[in-house]
Amino acid sequence: MTKGTTSMGNFTRKKTHIRCRRCGHNSFHKRHKTCAKCGYPDPKMRKFTWIKRRVV
């Protein structure tokens, strides 16, 4: 009767994202094999016009 929340509690301990080898951020999805920040392994860098880059 307690299948659900108790079973799903085990999913939170694993890391979903690891460090990307191209951009260096911790946004490479291990299972999907894509980076959420730069789009690696796609040859083009991921960028959108609605993203405002901060100039330091």
CA distance 14 to 12: 6
Q: What per-residue confidence (pLDDT) applies to 1?
A: 59
Which portions of the chain are predicted below pLDDT 50?
none
Q: What is the pTM of this model?
A: 0.70
pLDDT score at 17: 96
What pLDDT does residue 46 have? 94
Please answer whether residues 28 and 18 qualify as being in contact, where contact means their C-beta atoms are separated by less than 8 angstroms.
Answer: yes
What pLDDT was estimated at residue 9?
72
CA distance 29 to 41: 11
Give CA angle at 14 (35, 43), nearest 5°. 10
